[in-house]
Structure 1
C-alpha cells in the first residue's frame, strides 16, 4: 500500500446522512401523509383530518384524536429508530402495527420544517416539538388530546429533491389516493381531506359499502359482490371485501385495492389471484374494481422489506393465491349484492 496516499473515504456528517436516509422514506408529499396517517391509526384515532396546501409542498397537517404522546417520550420523537411498537427481533415475527421502523418523523424532520403538538388524555397540558435544520426545541403547550403534525416547506433544504416534485395538482392526486387507501381500510373511522381550503371528502364512520360509494363512486358499488370467506387449513386466512361487476374495468389497477392485515400492499401474487378469480370475465390488460382484505397470522408475512412498507413477502404465496382466487370466484358466482360491512 502507498504510504502517502491521501484518504478518500470520509465519514458523512449526521445532517447529510439523515437527508440521504430520508430519501427512502420521504419521496413526495404523499409519503409524508402516509406515514403520519399510519401513526394516527396506530394511536387508535377515531377521527383523522388531513390538510394540504400546494399539493403538500407548502404545508401538510395531520390531526388525530388518538392516544397522544407523553412529555417523557417527547425527546425521543425525532430520534431515528426510536419506537414504541417493537422491542426485539422476535417482534418482527408478530408485527400488528402500521409503523414499526422508527424512521418516519426523523426522516421528515431532515427535509422539512416540522412541528408536533401532542397530549395524552391523562395529561393536563401537552407538549410541542419543533425541528428545523437539525435544531430541535421542546416546550409545554396547550392542546387537545391527540396529535397534530405540521410539515412545512418539504425539501426546502434539498433542492435537488424538490425540483423533481410535480405540479401541485399531480402531487395532491397522490396525496388523495394515499388517504383514500387508508379510509377504505378503516371504514369504522372518520377521515377528512382538505386541499387549498376546500374539503375534498369528509367520511364519517360507515359500512365498507358506504365508504366505497363515497370514495369510489356509486357506479362502482352497483352490482358489487361481497367477499366473505375463511380458507380452511393451518394458515387461517380470512378474506373479505367486495368485488365489482366484470363489465366495469379500467386500463390500470386504479380501482383495485388489496390489503394484508389492514396494510395496503402491492403484491403480484395477490393481484394475480384477484384477476384469475374473474377468469375470462375481464379482458387481458383490464382491471376490475375490488377492495380485498386478507387477514393472516403476522408470522406468515414479512412487511419489513422496504421503508415504504407497501411491499411484502408471503411465507406461503401459493396458499394465499388459492384462497384469494377461490374467494373472488365464489363472490362472483353469487352475483351482485350490496358489498360488505
Structure 2
C-alpha cells in the first residue's frame, strides 16, 4: 500500500472540518447567533426558521450593530472584538469570544449579514460556503439581521445526520429557551414556517421560568420559590419548585454559570442533595440555578460548545448550593386559611381540605432556635402491637416542644394536641419516613448464608458490570457468575426487604444513578417494615413515634405524601359557630 505524504489541508477543507466542531445542526447556529445578539446589547431578539432551519435561519436583533469596516472580518477565523490579549480571557463577561461561530457557519451554508450602527448607513455581506463576497450598502434601520440558508448543502455527509424539520425546530426552540432563561430582561421570539412557536416578552426571573413551564399543568406560581446566596467570589440565584412538585428525572435541573448553561454533574448533584430530605426517593425538582462567578475563577475555553466548565472553587459552590436549598425549603410555605366554613357549608359541601403541614417548626425555630432531629438513634424496628389496658393520658416533651397524645382514630391516625391545634398523623406513612431516614444511616454489609442467583437482561448486565462497586458502597454485594448470570451475596444490615425484592429491583432497574436504586430499596424496605393501617399502637410506642415526627423538618413520606394534617382551634370554633 502506498503511503500518503503529510500535507497542509486546503483552507476551505480545513474550514469545513472545523465547522463540525462548533456547528452540527440548526440549533447550534441559533445558539451562536443569539449569543452574538445578546452581546450586542439587544432588547429584542427574533428567530425565524424555515424547515427547522435547514432551509433558512433568520435572526433579527436591535443591538448596537457591526461597523461597515468590520463586516468583511465577521466570518474570518478567530476574528473577534472581545479578546485581544491572553489576559483578556481572565475577565470575559460576554457569551461569545473565540471568533469561531460565523466562520464555521460560513463554511457550511450561505451566510448573509446585514447590520447598521448608530449614525451610519447600513451595509451587508454574503459568504457562500466559505467564499466571501463584497460589502454592499443597504441594511436594517437598526441592529443586525443574520440569515443562514441551505445548511450543509455542499457537505452531504453532514446533512444526512440532520433530522426532520419538525425535530430540528424543536431542538432550536430548546436552544433559544436556554439562552432566554438567564436574560428575563430581554424579549425572545421564534417562528417556524411562519407560525409563532415561542413568545417570551421581557419579565421577571421567576415569571420567565413560569412562562417556559406553562405547559406543565402541575406547576403554579405558588409552588415556585426563589432562592439566593452571596459569597465573596460568587453568588447563587435559583428559581425552583418547592417540595410539593417533583418529577422522576433530572431533566429540568438546569445549571447556568455566568449566563451559560453547562453540563456539570457535581452541581446537579448539589441540587439533588439539597432537596434530598424533602423529596421521596427517585424524585427531583424543577430547578434553574444561576451561578455568577468571578471570571478569573472559571474557564469555558475547554469545549467548542462551552457546555463544560472548570471552576476553581467548585467545592465551595457545591456546599453553598446544598445549604441554600435546604435553608429556603425550611421556610414556611403554608399560610393560614382566611375563610372558615359555617355549619351550613360544612354539611352542604364535600369534606374540608384542612391545612397540610409543610413545616412543623418554622415559627417555633424563629423563637427558640433550630430543633435537632434525632436521626441517629435507632428506633424500635417493630412497634409493639395491641395493648389491652389504656394508660393514663400522656403529655410528652421533645426538644422543649410540648404535645398531648389523645389516641388513635380509625386505627389509622394518631391524634395530637399541640400549640392550640389538632394534628392528625398518618401512622403508617410517619413510621415509614422514620425508618427510611434511619436506614440511610446504616453502614456495612451483612453476608447471606446462601447466595441467591439471578439472571438479567443484556442492558442491565452492562450496567451492573460498570456499577457493581457502587453497590458495595451501599452495602449490597453482587458478583458475576457468567454471561447475564449474577448472584446476591450480602445486603445492608437490618434490611426488612426480602432478598427476592432486592433482586427484582436490580433486574428492573433501567440505569442512571445508582443512588436512585438505593433510595428505592430504602423506600420499599421502610414501607414493608412500617406499622400498617389497622394496627393498634400502645401509648408509649405512639409517643415515641410522635416525638420523631415533630423533630422532622418536612413531614413527607418516601413516596411523596404529606402525612400530617393540622386543624387549628380557630378553624374548629368557626366550623361549629363558637365565638373564638
TM-score normalised by L of structure 2: 0.55
The CA RMSD over aligned residues, in Å, is 1.7
In 2, distance between residues paired with 1:177 and 1:187?
A: 16
Work out which structure has the larger RCO, using CA pairs closer than 8 Å and 6 or more positions apart in sequence.
Answer: 1
Shift of 1:139: 0.8
Give the stretch that moved more between structures: 217-226 or 164-173: 217-226
Distance 1:135 1:311 in 2: 32
Partner of 2:157: 160
Paired residue secondary structure (2:269) = helix
Contact 2:16 2:107 in 1 (8 A): yes
Instruction: Report the equivalent of 2:440.
Output: none
Counterpart position of 2:227? 227
Which residue is 1:151 aligned to?
A: 148
The answer to whether 1:333 aligns with 2:330 is yes
Kept in 1, the 8 Å contact 2:42–2:62? The answer is yes
Alignment size in residue pairs: 329
1:227 partner SS: strand
Contact 1:221 1:244 in 2 (8 A): no
| Residue 173, structure 1, aligned to residue 170, structure 2 | yes
CA deviation vs aligned residue, 1:12-47 (integer Å, no higher than 9, x gap): 111110011001100111000000000000001000
**1:283 & 1:58 partners in 2: Cα distance?**
46
Contact 2:52 2:169 in 1 (8 A): yes
- Deviation digits for residues 30-89 of structure 1, max 9, x if unmatched? 000000000000001000001111111111111000010001111211111010011111
Q: Which residue of 1 aligns with 2:355?
A: none
Secondary structure in structure 2 of the residue aligned to 1:287: coil
Other structure's SS at 2:268 match: helix
Relative distance call for 1:92 and 1:335 in structure 2 (3 A) is: farther
- The answer to whether the Cα contact below 8 Å between 2:173 and 2:198 also exists between their aligned partners in 1 is no
Q: Distance in 2 between matches of 1:88 and 1:252?
A: 43
Bigger CA drift: 138-147 or 152-161?
138-147
Q: CA deviation at 1:142?
A: 3.5
Q: How does 1:11-50 map to 2 (within 5 A)?
A: 11-50=8-47
CA distance in 2, matches of 1:28, 1:335: 46
Partners of 2:240 and 2:286 within 8 A in 1: yes
Q: Secondary structure at the match of 1:49?
A: strand
Aligned to 1:136: 132
Q: Report the secondary structure of 1:185's partner residue.
A: coil
Map 1:102-117; keep pairs closer than 5 Å: 102-117=99-114
Deviation at 1:197, TM superposition (A): 0.9
Report runs of 4+ in structure 1 exceeding 6 Å deviation: none
CA contact (8 A) 2:36 2:96 kept: yes
| SS of aligned partner of 1:40 | helix
Tell me the SS of whatever aligns to 2:69: coil
What is the deviation of 1:286? Answer: 4.1
Q: 1:268 aligns with which of 265, 268, 272?
A: 265
State the alpha-carbon separation in 2 of the partners of residues 6 and 258 from structure 1: 49
| Distance change >3 Å, CA 140–CA 335, structure 1 → 2 | farther
| Alpha carbons of structure 1 residues 248 and 84: separation in structure 2 relative to 1, 3 Å | same
The yes-or-no answer on 1:9 pairing with 2:6 is: yes
Residue aligned with 1:288, SS: coil
The answer to whether the 8 Å contact 2:209/2:239 transfers is no
Q: Pick the aligned partner of 2:317 from 305, 313, 320.
A: 320
Alignment CA distance shift 1:252-1:22 (3 Å): farther
Q: In structure 2, how many angstroms separate the alpha carbons of the residues matched to 1:60 and 1:285? A: 40
Cα-to-partner distance string for 1:89-139 (whole Å, 9 max, x where unaligned): 11111111001100000100001111110010121x111110113321221
Q: Quick check: 1:243–1:331 contact (8 Å CA) kept in 2?
A: no
Q: Distance in 2 between matches of 1:284 and 1:175?
A: 33
Closer/same/farther in 2, CA of residues 92 and 64 from structure 1, 3 Å limit: same
Q: Is the 8 A contact 2:43 2:187 kept in 1?
A: yes
Alignment gaps of 5+ in structure 2? 335-580
Equivalence for 2:122: 126
* Counterpart Cα distance in 1 of 2:164 and 2:280: 34
CA distance in 1, matches of 2:155, 2:167: 20
Q: Which residue of the other structure, out of 206, 211, 214, is the alignment partner of 2:211?
A: 214
**What does residue 241 of structure 1 align with?**
238
Residues 149-158 or 134-143, more deviating: 134-143
Contact 1:112 1:153 in 2 (8 A): yes
Cα distance between partner residues in 1 of 2:112 and 2:330 = 52
Residue 55 (str. 1) matches residue 52 (str. 2) = yes
- CA offsets per residue over residues 236-272 of structure 1, 9 Å max, x none? 2211121212343334433222111111111112111
Larger Rg: 1 or 2? Answer: 2
Change (3 A) 1:9 1:92: same
Gaps of 5+ in 1: none
1:331 shift after superposition: 2.0
- In the alignment, the residues of structure 1 paired with residue 237 and residue 4 of structure 2 have an alpha-carbon distance, to the nearest angstrom, of 59
